[in-house]
């Protein structure tokens, strides 16, 4: 057998090189290129005109704008010291305001908001379309903040230090030019920072590879280098964890989105922690409580002759771990139908959001005599819980609850006594009494049962004629859970549509294994699961191919791109948003190289052998009856390159297939920066679906 390997690899490498050079649409990867923007502008005009002619377009736009601009929206809190901070957008604040109220008034339901930064005013003065991204405060007074602002909504940000007492940016404060940066206070005079420090300071994925300590009053170029990752790593980043009177500076070498090394900076040296490298960076961050470092295991881990199962939540004595000794305590071991979807720490408790058969439950854990004791928190059932905010300085915390038919409600809780109370709920944007939710399971190609939710009118008939929208994500261990959307309720359900959410593999609905079954060479499982759910909807006569549409964004955009190229017979409408589509060049475009742990490396022939089987851009064929696809992306998306959608639309057009294409000139990977842009995106999406599926 060995004598055949070299000739085969030689032939494969020749074909690979030939294919990589033979891309007549590569000019569309030039984001601000004249020809590229001419292509964008021409398609934008045609697409918008066509969709605005759908009779429901204007009503959907107006209702979406009304919902997004509503003053009844929930003001989600971030608590720093005695104040609650919040970012807010409405009709009067198009680009938004960053504001604060006393915690006491906020908890009483009577916040007295004080505006700190007015982004509309700032944008007008600077002639920049500023988008608020984040703010990190200086413990313990929180009189200074590191504010991250994006130009147009991309991931790259400008960082400026803000003084809340004077409501102004410090001219001599910590300032970073536009880059993909992470930064945190160590103390009043020092920050730990990862950013673009010049040549060779960024990884091939476009993220920082250097971590530095930067002293106030000195140039960032002179900041002390404490860690440098390899250029081919995903990134090297820093975080400061505090508990009670202790503070630790953690440095993470992220090799991929699923593997990393963790270090502690102590006494001017980095100490590598002996914990598993396969720590997912997407959902569960490091947490610290009572000297216990808390991690979720992505695979079985044997320590001191005891095995802790995959998906378990465990803790380690940090002081002993720094010395090289592992003292492990089991917090929670989920079963096959359960996963840990989120954790947070308060002053004395660990909060754990547990997902059981895609429904949330919330628990508080305390360390008693070396063992973790569990207490159920009084929270609503049969829906989705999101831990909104908690920190080490108090046992107060905030979480939200929602499901398809219950408007989102914000709760406050106290972790010591497990009590909760509702603070604010969204109004009912549609009459939920007319609808029902059912959960089914379908058997995928390899026998695995895949759950999905169906939201429909109580009066709907199993006649195969119902306009149905199917959506999923299927990647990076991210679970898809029930959520409340007034826009979906008004634009889709109220217009006779059925909404379906599928919990396919690649996500995190059933723990790390559910994710790992969709990685790299196993990726086809994700797409088989999606095809299976679509087939089940047709078999049950909920809908038929003529009335079935699909939507996905980002990795979900790749999902629906694969769906319509592999099974064009199943769908009559496809909304493909901010997608990956050219899987041969994805690792060379913007942040694409950071996802090779998920998809594989197309530059390796063995990886390309399985990637090319599903890459939508490479699997378009002539004389196939594809649906008329609606591609949506953003010029300012600096995560997933707009060239993916551009090239796919151009290729399909030249092959004679009609497509709709729209590219927002700002918005970043979210696709929109203002409520007007969000309303337009929603109106286009649902107008298209109604046009195609009724």
Q: How confident is the model at residue 280 (pLDDT cuts 50, 70, 90)?
A: low
657 burial via Cβ count (<10 Å: 0-12, 13-18, 19+): middle
What tokens were used for 132? 């608020």
Candidates 528, 527, 516; CA nearest to 598 is 516
Residue 301 contacts residue 276 (beta carbons within 8 Å): yes
Kindly report, residue by residue over 287-297, the tens digit of the pLDDT.
999 999 999 99
What tokens were used for 506? 């690649």
Predicted confidence at residue 484, as pLDDT, reads 98
CB-CB neighbours of 606 under 10 Å: 12
Instruction: Indicate whether 7 pLDDT > 70.
Output: no
**Residues labelled as active-site residues:** 554, 669
Predicted confidence at residue 370, as pLDDT, reads 87
Task: Write the secondary structure of 123-190 as one string of H (helix), E (strand) and C (coil).
Answer: HHHHCCCEEEEEEEECCCCCCEEEEEEEECCCCCEEEEEEECCCCEECCCCCEEEEECCEEEEEECCE
Domain limits, the chain: 37-65+429-693, 180-272
* DSSP-H helix ranges across 478-554: 486-491, 512-516, 524-539
Instruction: Indicate whether 546 pLDDT > 70.
Output: yes
CA distances from 154 to 24, 111, 150, 645 (A): 27, 31, 6, 17
Predicted confidence at residue 245, as pLDDT, reads 82
**H/E element, 320:** helix 318-322
CB-CB neighbours of 110 under 10 Å: 10
Residues 224, 218: Cα–Cα separation, whole Å: 11
Query: Among 165-169, 241-245, 653-657, which is the least confidently predicted range?
Result: 241-245
pTM of the predicted protein model: 0.95
Predicted confidence at residue 279, as pLDDT, reads 74
Number of H-type helices and E-type strands within the chain: 14, 39
* DSSP-H helix ranges across 22-107: 34-52, 57-69, 103-107
Residues 584, 648: Cα–Cα separation, whole Å: 13
Q: How confident is the model at residue 244 (pLDDT cuts 50, 70, 90)?
A: confident
Whole-angstrom distance between the N-terminal and C-terminal Cα of the chain? 56
Select the more confidently predicted residue: 281 or 670.
Answer: 670
CATH of 37-65+429-693, picked from 1.10.1200.10, 3.40.50.1820, 3.40.50.300, 3.90.320.10, is 3.40.50.1820
Instruction: Indicate whether 4 pLDDT > 70.
Output: no
Kindly report, residue by residue over 620-646, the tens digit of the pLDDT.
999 999 999 999 999 999 999 999 999
Give the largest Cα separation in the chain, rounded: 78
Average pLDDT of span 400-406? 98
Residue 77 contacts residue 398 (beta carbons within 8 Å): yes
Residue 493 contacts residue 499 (beta carbons within 8 Å): yes
Q: How confident is the model at residue 18 (pLDDT cuts 50, 70, 90)?
A: very low
328-332 β-sheet, strand order: 287-289, 292-296, 313-317, 328-332
**H/E element, 651:** helix 643-654
Any bridge partners for residue 453, and if so which? Answer: 439, 501
375 burial via Cβ count (<10 Å: 0-12, 13-18, 19+): middle
């Amino acid at each position: 057998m060995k004598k055949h390997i070299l000739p085969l690899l030689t032939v494969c490498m020749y074909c690979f090189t030939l294919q990589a050079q033979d891309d007549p649409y590569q000019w569309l990867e030039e984001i601000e290129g004249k020809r590229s923007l001419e292509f964008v502008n021409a398609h934008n005009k045609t697409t918008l005109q066509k969709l605005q002619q759908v009779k429901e377009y204007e009503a959907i736009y107006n209702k979406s704008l009304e919902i997004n601009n509503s003053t009844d929206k929930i003001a989600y809190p971030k608590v720093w010291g005695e104040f609650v901070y919040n970012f807010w957008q409405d009709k009067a604040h198009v680009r938004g305001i960053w504001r604060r109220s006393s915690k006491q008034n906020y908890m009483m339901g009577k916040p007295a908001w004080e505006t700190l930064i007015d982004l509309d005013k700032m944008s007008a003065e600077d002639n920049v379309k500023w988008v608020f991204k984040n703010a990190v405060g200086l413990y313990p007074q929180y009189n200074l903040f590191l504010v991250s602002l994006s130009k147009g909504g991309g991931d790259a940000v400008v960082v400026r230090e803000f003084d809340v007492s004077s409501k102004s940016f410090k001219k001599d404060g910590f300032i970073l030019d536009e880059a993909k940066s992470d930064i945190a206070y160590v103390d009043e005079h020092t920050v730990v920072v990862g950013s673009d420090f010049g040549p060779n300071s960024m990884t091939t994925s476009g993220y920082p590879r250097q971590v530095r300590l930067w002293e106030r009053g000195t140039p960032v170029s002179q900041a002390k280098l404490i860690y440098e990752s390899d250029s081919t790593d995903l990134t090297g980043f820093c975080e400061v964890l505090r508990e009670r009177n202790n503070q630790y500076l953690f440095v993470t070498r992220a090799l991929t989105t699923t593997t990393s090394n963790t270090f502690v900076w102590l006494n001017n040296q980095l100490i590598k922690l002996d914990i598993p490298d396969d720590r997912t960076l997407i959902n569960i961050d490091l947490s610290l409580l009572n000297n216990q470092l808390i991690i979720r295991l992505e695979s079985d881990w044997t320590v001191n002759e005891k095995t802790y199962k995959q998906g378990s939540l465990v803790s380690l004595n940090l002081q002993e771990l720094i010395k090289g000794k592992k003292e492990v305590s089991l917090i929670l071991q989920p079963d096959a139908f359960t996963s840990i979807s989120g954790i947070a720490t308060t002053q004395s408790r660990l909060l754990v959001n547990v997902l059981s058969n895609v429904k949330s439950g919330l628990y508080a854990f305390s360390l008693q005599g070396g063992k973790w004791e569990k207490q159920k928190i009084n929270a609503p059932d049969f829906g989705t819980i999101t831990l909104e905010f908690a920190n080490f300085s108090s046992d107060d915390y905030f979480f939200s609850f929602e499901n398809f038919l219950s408007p989102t409600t914000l709760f406050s809780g106290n972790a010591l006594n497990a009590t909760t109370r509702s603070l604010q709920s969204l109004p009912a944007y549609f009459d939920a009494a007319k609808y029902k939710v059912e959960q089914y399971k379908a058997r995928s190609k390899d026998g695995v049962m895949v759950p999905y939710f169906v939201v429909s009118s109580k009066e709907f008939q199993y006649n195969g004629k119902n306009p149905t929208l199917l959506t999923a994500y299927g990647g990076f261990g991210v679970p898809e859970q029930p959520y409340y959307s007034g826009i979906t309720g008004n634009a889709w359900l109220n217009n006779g549509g059925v909404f379906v959410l599928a919990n396919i593999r690649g996500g995190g609905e059933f723990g790390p294994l559910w994710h790992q079954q969709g990685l790299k060479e196993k990726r086809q499982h994700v797409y088989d699961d999606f095809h299976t759910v679509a087939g089940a909807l047709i078999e049950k006569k909920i809908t038929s191919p003529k009335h079935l549409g699909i939507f996905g964004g980002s990795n979900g955009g790749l999902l629906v791109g694969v769906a319509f190229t592999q099974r064009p017979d199943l769908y009559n409408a496809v909304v493909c948003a901010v997608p990956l589509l050219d899987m041969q060049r994805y690792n060379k475009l913007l942040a694409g190289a950071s996802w090779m742990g998920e998809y594989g490396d197309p530059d390796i022939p063995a990886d390309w052998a399985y990637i090319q089987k599903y890459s939508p851009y490479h699997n378009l064929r002539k004389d196939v009856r594809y649906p008329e696809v609606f591609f949506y992306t953003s010029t300012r998306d600096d995560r997933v390159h707009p060239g993916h959608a551009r090239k796919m639309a151009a290729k399909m057009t030249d092959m004679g297939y009609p497509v709709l294409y729209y590219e927002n000139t700002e918005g970043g990977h979210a696709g929109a920066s203002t409520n007007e842009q969000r309303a337009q995106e929603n109106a286009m999406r649902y107008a298209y679906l109604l046009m195609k599926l009724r």
